[in-house]
């Protein structure tokens, strides 16, 4: 779990360097997607190797980058991460009721 202290540390890192001025929502969205691509790259050409075990070090770094981008974007856009994640889980619970979605990977539009 991310602690408030950790979120403040990410924001302090930015503010100590006066980087807030460069963090427009557009550029943060670009950065978030680039970091997500770096995360994806860890698994590129990995064949049937779908485990995290041998990729743990790189995975830790890229997942941290993705989360840091989320923290920065939420701050710039005035969003509370805990609140928006909870809102989304509530929406998804309606889209994917347990009785229809349990053990089923189908998209909600395909659940019958």
Residues that bind Mg ion (CB under 5 A): 35, 38, 62, 65
Residue 11 or 61: the one with the smaller Cβ distance to Mg ion is 61
Least distance to Mg ion from the beta carbon of 73, Å?
Answer: 15
Instruction: Please say which residue, 62 or 75, places its beta carbon nearer to Mg ion.
Output: 62
Q: Which residue is nearest to Mg ion (CB)?
A: 65
Residues with Cβ within 8 Å of residue 100, at least 6 apart in sequence? 111, 112
With respect to Mg ion, which residue has the nearer C-beta, 59 or 101?
59
Residue 15: how many CA atoms within 13 Å on its side-chain side? 8
């Amino acid at each position: 779990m991310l602690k408030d202290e950790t979120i403040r540390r990410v924001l302090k890192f930015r503010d100590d360097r006066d980087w807030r001025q460069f963090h427009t929502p557009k550029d943060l969205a670009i950065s978030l997607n680039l970091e997500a691509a770096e995360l994806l790259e860890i698994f590129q050409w990995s064949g049937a190797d779908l485990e995290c075990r041998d990729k743990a070090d790189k995975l830790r770094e890229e997942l941290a980058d993705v989360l840091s981008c989320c923290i920065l974007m939420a701050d710039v856009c005035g969003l509370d991460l805990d609140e928006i994640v909870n809102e989304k889980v509530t929406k998804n619970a309606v889209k994917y009721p347990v009785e229809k979605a349990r053990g089923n990977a189908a998209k909600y539009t395909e659940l019958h």
